[in-house]
Amino acid sequence: MTDFAGLVAMVTGGASGIGAATVEMLAERGATVFVYDRDPSASALPTVHSLTGDVTSDDDLAAAYATIEADAGGLDVLVNNAAISAVGDAGANDRDEWRRVLEVNVISAARVTALAAPMLRESYHPAVVNVSSFGALVGIRNRAVYCATKGAIDALTLAMAADYLADGIRVNAVAPGTADTPWVARLIANSADPDKELAALRGRQPMARLISPAEIAWAICYLASPHAGSTTATILPVDGGITGVRV
Ligand SMILES: NC(=O)c1ccc[n+]([C@@H]2O[C@H](COP(=O)([O-])OP(=O)(O)OC[C@H]3O[C@@H](n4cnc5c(N)ncnc54)[C@H](O)[C@@H]3O)[C@@H](O)[C@H]2O)c1
């Protein structure tokens, strides 16, 4: 498929996991892709460019967007993927920790998008895809802060879709279930019993397996593609059935 030929994309958190799979797929489908990550890895793909920056820094973002405009002439597709987690119930994290995770996961998705809007408005096929989680809709034990941020991402997706409608900028989200990424690998490795933890995570999924980053990247590319020109304000689960199925 070459549906992204001639288009320019930026993926936050594009150096790892779901972001990296999305970068690879966008590039394969013809996009010029910029990875925006606090720790970008060198990519072997010729069309992928690395930008070092933190999503919480407007200065980093302004510098990145200046580079994209100078080198690629504009931006068509933005994927708000970077996020962090925190462990515990609603009382386990102090106000600073709540603010830290909200800053990365929610406020930054809004700022990254708002600062990109001038370039997106110039595009013929502008699209924003946010990465939410099944945790927005299903209570997960000991993930109060994280689930709250993903609920906010769902609401922000719909609000931004409404605000940017007149500009022609489509805003959608994917909501993955538990995926086979370095994030989850760290979670498993740091648990008391990694084999048991992996079995529990798989067992929680109705399909009894973790979701591959490529399966989520495919959904992100669908929502970002010019072929999805009538799709906005959609939150697409890629979750192995965890929000909709009881077995
Ligand atoms: N892995 C899962 O099971 C799962 C499930 C549902 C949703 N998600 C969501 O998918 C997205 C990606 O998750 P993943 O598992 O691929 O994670 P990951 O940890 O493998 O990759 C995250 C990337 O984001 C970057 N990053 C983190 N904070 C940043 C910041 N402040 N500024 C710039 N870059 C930053 C990291 O350097 C890393 O490269 C997240 O939004 C996550 O909430 C993941």
Q: Which pLDDT value is given to residue 247?
A: 85
pLDDT at 175: 98
Stretches where the chain sits below pLDDT 50 are none
Q: Where are the domains of the chain?
A: 8-176+212-236, 182-210
Cα of 102 from ligand 1 centre, angstroms: 14
Distance CA 17, CA 183 (A): 7
- Distances, alpha carbon 165 to alpha carbons 79, 170, 171, 172, in Å: 17, 7, 8, 12
**Helix H or strand E encompassing 32:** strand 32-37
Measured from the CB, is residue 187 less than 6 Å from ligand 1?
A: no
> What is the distance, to the nearest Å, from the Cα of residue 30 to the centroid of all Cα atoms in its chain?
20
Nearest residue (by CA) to ligand 1, atom 40, is 83
Active-site annotation holds for 124? no
Cβ(26)–Cβ(48) below 8 Å: no
- For residue 166, the CA-to-ligand 1 centroid distance in Å is 30
Estimate to the nearest angstrom the gap between the alpha carbon of 177 and the chain centroid.
13
- Note the CATH architecture for domain 8-176+212-236: 3-Layer(aba) Sandwich (3.40)
| Whether the CB of 17 sits within 6 Å of ligand 1 | yes
Q: What is the pLDDT of residue 44?
A: 62
Q: Residue 116: what pLDDT?
A: 99
Ligand 1 mean position to 80 CA, how many Å? Answer: 10
Q: How far is the CA of 238 from the centre of ligand 1 (A)?
A: 16
Which of 109, 211, 107, 98 is closest to 145 using CA atoms? 98
pLDDT of residue 41: 74
Residue from 25, 107, 181 to probe ligand 1 pocket by mutation (most atoms less than 8 Å from CB): 181
pLDDT value, residue 87: 95
Q: Is the CB of 126 under 6 A from ligand 1?
A: no
Please indicate whether residue 81, judged by its CB atom, sits closer than 6 Å to ligand 1. Answer: yes
- Phi, psi values for residue 132, rounded to 5°: -95, -145
As given in the structure block, the two tokens for residue 185 are 């690998």
Q: Could you give the CA distance from residue 96 to residue 22 in angstroms, rounded to a whole number?
A: 31
